[in-house]
Amino acid sequence: MILLTGATGKTGGAAADALIEMGVPFRALVRDAEKAAALKEAGVDLIVGDAADPEAVRKAMEGVDRVALILPNSQEQEALEMQFVDIATAAGVKHLVKLSSLEALPEATSPIPALHWRVEEHIRASGLDWTMIRPNFFMDNLLGYGFSIKNEGSFALPMGDGVTVMMDCKDIGLAIATVLAGAGHAGRSYNLSGPELLSFHDVASQFGEVLGKPIEYLNVDPTAYREIIAPFLTSDWHADAVMHLFSEVVDGVVPPKVTTTFKELTGQDPTSFRQFVQNHIELYG
């Protein structure tokens, strides 16, 4: 049996959709049964509980041999993920798939990549088989700009001339599902990327091409941007961590590279940003 976490979120939700599409049965640990109603309808075995509750995690892992660890950023993420790994090891799970990030490197000092690296190291030392899924910036981060793109013809981010190899969460979910359902992925770190290197000026141009009107990228001051996003994040730690990560994009601290890993893994081409905009045309157009 497979256990998926984060199944009501962006990447975990996409992994769930891909597993359902493949006809692979799985269990999901969810916090809110109502939010997961469609999963239940699709026949997914739901366990309602919080990753912070060791009993709920233990229960979710009964009879499970493969797990996907997908949790959102917060000051608690590292402790929650470490605990999850320890419970998986004690429960006799064989293979753990972790959603990490491309910037998670031994020398990382930015809080989010650094915590991902420490959890990766803990997993590698656990004795479990493991696979790391390491994407860069999510295209889906731009779904929150639907209103401003549609109504104001612009989007604001403090990214300067920084570049990413942004990727559609649908593709990341497919990669996770492919690893969970397949064989030969133990001990592999998959650095995933979208099909091209894009600055946010390029992103604006591609929005404009698909929408048929000019879209402006407003390169906002980081302090002003932090004030806007902070109320939507879990804590000051979280807001500072996001701003630190964004400043590293601006400075090119971890230069992103286009990889062929997604195609090798899934046999499919990664979704282009133009296609992503087209897929969400009702939001933006």
Residues engaged in binding ligand NAP (CB under 6 A) = 5-12, 29, 31-32, 35, 50-52, 70-73, 99, 101, 112, 135, 137-138, 141
Closer to ligand NAP by CB, 142 or 149: give it.
142
Name the residue whose CB lies closest to ligand NAP: 9
Q: Give yes or no for a contact between 1 and 64, defined as CB atoms under 8 angstroms apart.
A: yes
Closer to ligand NAP by CB, 95 or 170: give it.
170
Shortest distance in whole angstroms from residue 13 CB to ligand NAP: 7
Residue indicated by tokens 């559609």? 168
Shortest distance in whole angstroms from residue 25 CB to ligand NAP: 19
Shortest distance in whole angstroms from residue 243 CB to ligand NAP: 14
3-state DSSP of the chain? CEEEECCCCHHHHHHHHHHHHHCCCCEEEECCCCCCHHHHHCCCEEEECCCCCHHHHHHHCCCCCEEEECCCCCCCHHHHHHHHHHHHHHCCCCEEEEECCCCCCCCCCCHHHHHHHHHHHHHHCCCCEEEEEECCCEHHHHHHHHHHHHHHCEEEECCCCCEECCECHHHHHHHHHHHHHCCCCCCEEEECCCCCCEEHHHHHHHHHHHHCCCCEEEECCHHHHHHHHHHHCCCHHHHHHHHHHHHHHHHCCCCCCCCCHHHHHHCCCCCCHHHHHHHCHHHHC
How far is it, in rounded angstroms, from Cα 226 to Cα 236? 10
Shortest distance in whole angstroms from residue 115 CB to ligand NAP: 8
Closer to ligand NAP by CB, 234 or 285: give it.
234
Shortest distance in whole angstroms from residue 136 CB to ligand NAP: 6
Instruction: Point out which residues pair with 191 in neighbouring strands.
Output: 134
Closer to ligand NAP by CB, 44 or 99: give it.
99
Closer to ligand NAP by CB, 60 or 215: give it.
60
Q: How many CB atoms lie within 10 A of CB 99?
A: 25
Shortest distance in whole angstroms from residue 125 CB to ligand NAP: 20
Shortest distance in whole angstroms from residue 138 CB to ligand NAP: 4
Closer to ligand NAP by CB, 49 or 153: give it.
49
Tokens of 177: 């599902």
Closer to ligand NAP by CB, 119 or 215: give it.
119
Shortest distance in whole angstroms from residue 152 CB to ligand NAP: 23
Closer to ligand NAP by CB, 215 or 245: give it.
245
